[in-house]
């Protein structure tokens, strides 16, 4: 049976991930393969470890890229630390905090939830109260930038609490790494994982991962085997193979993180007024809204729940569409993916194009509006 070669259409990716990939990274994808024990490849791995330590702002010896998506990094962080019976405090203010709790329970651990309304941060006082009343705690796990809502969580106060209570601190930096400061050593984070397809602007499939000496000691002192053979960090050691990672990390090292953080903030400020014109309103920015998820925490001007939310989600796909752009939405903490095609007023579309893309390689085709409204 004959098959046609797949040629992906060009898209300007503006959602919560995947993000646009630098041509330098795309070129790395086309280079010849090397064997995993080739001396040139092993030297490359050493370079990548050094670059990852720079990205994470850490001197941790165990700093690698896990072969898998950010979800693999999340699972690796829990299955290596948590044993049956261990208590873990989980900050839950969105979808991914909930997922952390699920993995803890699947490992036989006890998930102690410290909850906040979706879109708000977890208060350090609430974590401290849970530490005081819950007895021995193996770890505290929290999401730095909750993709589903845009909440940007302060970490340093909670890290200090973990140190005071001799508790490991696990951080999900899937969305934040490369888009905002993530300072592993200065803040005292023990386990941190991220993903390549967000602010690091790589294709998906790798999860930057780092462990402190305290975390490695806890893994070596386990009473039971790690629940996952594939993600067992005691076995993985230095064996990993992220060639494409090198080019993107080199970009970050050359441009400097301060410049890249400012760039993400500028993008948010450019696009926010345009989104307001779509009859959607950004969640009020109380200082803890992500600068690097500019379109992922949008809510309608009026509260919506249940069937109304589903109807609006359905309408969004059919009503707000134009070719070659990809955005992401959250409404009451539920992420709604949109495929935007042929439905924005021409004037607004021109302003979006003018601010977002000057690149002739991303042509935008404007269609007629069919008069449908949210």
DSSP secondary structure, 277-307, as one string:
TTTEEEPP-SS-B-SS-TTSSEEESS---HH
The pLDDT of 29-36, averaged and rounded, is: 89
C-alpha distances out from residue 372 to 51, 187, 319, 328, 331, Å: 49, 49, 6, 20, 20
Classify burial at 308, counting beta carbons within 10 Å of its beta carbon; exposed 0-12, middle 13-18, buried 19 or more. Answer: middle
- Closest of 89, 137, 122, 149 to residue 285, by C-alpha: 149
pLDDT band at 358 (very low <50, low <70, confident <90, very high): very low
Q: Tens of pLDDT along 320-337?
A: 333 343 444 433 233 333
Q: How far apart are CA 50 and CA 249, in angstroms?
A: 10
pLDDT band at 305 (very low <50, low <70, confident <90, very high): very low
Residues 6+ apart with CB under 8 A from 46: none
pLDDT band at 1 (very low <50, low <70, confident <90, very high): confident
SS3 assignment, position 83: coil
Is the pLDDT reported for residue 2 higher than 70?
Answer: yes
Q: Tens of pLDDT along 158-190?
A: 999 999 999 999 999 999 999 889 999 999 999
SS3 assignment, position 149: coil
pLDDT at position 112, please?
Answer: 98
pLDDT band at 262 (very low <50, low <70, confident <90, very high): low
pLDDT band at 50 (very low <50, low <70, confident <90, very high): very high
- Closest of 285, 284, 291 to residue 268, by C-alpha: 291
Q: How far apart are CA 291 and CA 169, in angstroms?
A: 24
The answer to whether the beta carbons of residues 203 and 197 sit under 8 Å apart is yes
CB atoms within 10 A of CB 224: 10
The answer to whether the beta carbons of residues 90 and 111 sit under 8 Å apart is yes
CA–CA–CA angle 316, 320, 326 (5° rounding) = 90
DSSP secondary structure, 358-373, as one string:
--TTS-----------
């Amino acid at each position: 049976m004959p098959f046609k070669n797949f040629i992906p259409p060009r898209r300007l990716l503006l959602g919560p991930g995947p993000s646009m990939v630098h041509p330098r990274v795309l070129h790395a994808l086309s280079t010849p393969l090397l064997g995993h024990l080739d001396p040139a490849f092993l030297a490359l791995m050493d370079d990548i470890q050094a670059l990852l330590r720079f990205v994470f702002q850490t001197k941790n010896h165990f700093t690698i890229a896990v072969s898998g998506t950010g979800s693999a990094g999340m699972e690796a962080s829990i299955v290596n630390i948590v044993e049956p019976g261990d208590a873990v405090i989980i900050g839950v203010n969105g979808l991914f905090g909930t997922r952390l709790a699920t993995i803890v329970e699947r490992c036989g651990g006890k998930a102690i939830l410290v909850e906040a309304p979706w879109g708000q941060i977890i208060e350090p006082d609430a974590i401290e109260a849970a530490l005081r009343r819950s007895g021995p705690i193996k770890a505290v796990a929290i999401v730095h930038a909750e993709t589903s809502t845009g909440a940007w969580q302060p970490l340093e106060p909670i890290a200090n609490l973990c140190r005071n209570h001799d508790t490991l601190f696990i951080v999900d930096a899937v969305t934040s790494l490369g888009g905002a400061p993530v300072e592993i050593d200065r803040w005292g984070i023990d386990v941190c994982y991220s993903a390549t397809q967000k602010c690091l602007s790589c294709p998906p499939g790798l999860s930057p991962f780092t462990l402190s000496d305290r975390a490695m000691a806890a893994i070596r002192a386990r009473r039971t085997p790690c629940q996952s053979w594939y993600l067992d960090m005691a076995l993985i050691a230095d064996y990993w193979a992220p060639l494409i990672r090198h080019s993107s990390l080199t970009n970050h090292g050359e441009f400097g993180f301060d410049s890249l953080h400012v760039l993400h903030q500028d993008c948010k400020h450019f696009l926010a007024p345009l989104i307001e014109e779509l009859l959607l309103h950004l969640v009020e920015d109380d200082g803890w809204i992500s600068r690097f998820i500019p379109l992922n925490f949008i809510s309608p001007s009026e509260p919506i729940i249940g069937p109304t939310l589903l109807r609006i989600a359905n309408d969004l796909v059919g009503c707000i569409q134009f070719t070659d752009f990809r955005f992401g939405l959250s409404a009451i903490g539920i992420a709604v993916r949109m495929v935007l095609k042929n439905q924005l007023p021409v004037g607004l579309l021109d302003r979006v194009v003018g601010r977002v893309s000057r690149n002739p390689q991303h042509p935008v085709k404007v269609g007629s509006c069919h008069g449908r409204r949210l």
